[in-house]
Amino acid sequence: MEETNSKKDFLVFGSPKITQDEINEVTDSLKSGWLGTGPKVAKFENMFRDYIGCRFARALNSCTAALHLSMLVSGIKPGDEVITTPLTFAATANSILHTGAKPVFADVDKKTMNIDPKLIQNAITKKTKAIIPVHFAGRPCEMDEIMDLAEENNLLVIEDAAHCIEGNYKGKKIGTIGNLTCFSFYVTKNIVTGEGGMITTDNEEWAEKIEMYALHGLSKGAWKRYSDEGFKHYEVIFPGYKYNMMDLQAAIGIHQLKKVEENYKRREEIWKVYNESFEDLPLILPSPVENMKHALHLYTVLLDLDRIKINRNQFQQELIKKKIGTGIHFISLHLHKYYKEAFNYKQGDFPNAEFISDRTISLPFSAKLTDKDVDDVVKSVREILK
């Protein structure tokens, strides 16, 4: 009999499923005395490489770091332009700014919520050097069209797959299509390390640079300097960053990765319950996918504002009163103060992203949810909207 939450408890949005396996592995790291980047990071990288089917996987302390280093090692420079979606977390655009380049937004498809390849074409200029498609909520972007555009215009493709670890597009695993792909292991993601990220690529030179740039630009990392083979001197090859993953984080990730498909099946069950329970409500539910595997990271619905008397923010507050946590994915970046002022964006520039921004809400959706938790979410949503 599975343990259920009392309705007196607040159902936290995005709470991860952590088991004794992860706890034991972290304890083992603590007892070993090796807490920083070491053998467990290497093991996690190898496991992730094999799961994705790429040549190289490099673990970092965040997906933001992964995006930043992906652009640096592939040659994005100040003054370049990088096209991405406005319907994403700030890290996607911020990482472009950290390279000195300019983020250029192309609107999304209202149905998929992913960047629209036709609108990418319109945003390409002589300064464009890369495209960063974001696989929103776990739904793979239309990668064939995006890769064709990139080839025609000699552009890099750096995938933001923070939501899309399990994703597959037309038989190709996400992480094997673009030039580089960036994943997140943040606490709400499908694989959790607390904080953490990974870059996959088939380019050996870039993989070597990523490893070096992530740890101060040193010629040898800590594991190589202080292992039982004896101390080895290092040189600073590049003024790098402190972006490395710790063994304490990788210890969690090793067991999270082992259970990734098992946890996916549980989210599939919850997804089906939600779809069946909400189909008669004034909601626009996630549209089905064809020729791809949705990674099922977020269960995001849009309120049909023409059929209800409350707005999204009011709906969210009503759920909070019922002790149900939610997320907002996302308020379009061009509507945020910094991007409005820095790039003169205004209301109306990206109408599809704005449509979604006004209506979107993400419901609790995690392998940790019990049947009782799911039932509480369904009942609460129906009570508010019926």
Phi-psi group of 75: left, alpha or beta (phi > 0 → left; psi -120 to 50 → alpha; rest → beta): left
Alpha-carbon distance of 232 to 227, in angstroms, equals: 9
Q: Are 212 and 219 in contact (CB under 8 A)?
A: yes
Question: Pick from 166, 159, 162, 203: which is nearest to 181 by CA?
Answer: 159
Q: Are 361 and 301 in contact (CB under 8 A)?
A: yes
Task: Centre a 10 Å sphere on the Cβ of residue 49 and count the other Cβ atoms it contains.
Answer: 18
Active site residue 379: no
Q: Which helix (H) or strand (E) holds 139?
A: none
Residue 134's SS3 state is strand
Residue 189's SS3 state is coil
Long-range contacts, 25-32 (Cβ 8 Å, 24+): 25/251, 25/252, 25/254, 25/255, 26/248, 26/251, 26/252, 28/251, 29/247, 29/248, 29/251, 30/248
Question: Pick from 315, 279, 302: which is nearest to 358 by CA?
Answer: 302
Backbone angles phi, psi at 138, to 5 degrees: 110, -5
- Indicate the length of the chain as a whole number: 386
Of the listed 102, 189, 209, 293, which one is catalytic? Answer: 189
Cα three-residue angle 196-201-205, rounded to 5 degrees: 110
Active site residues: 189
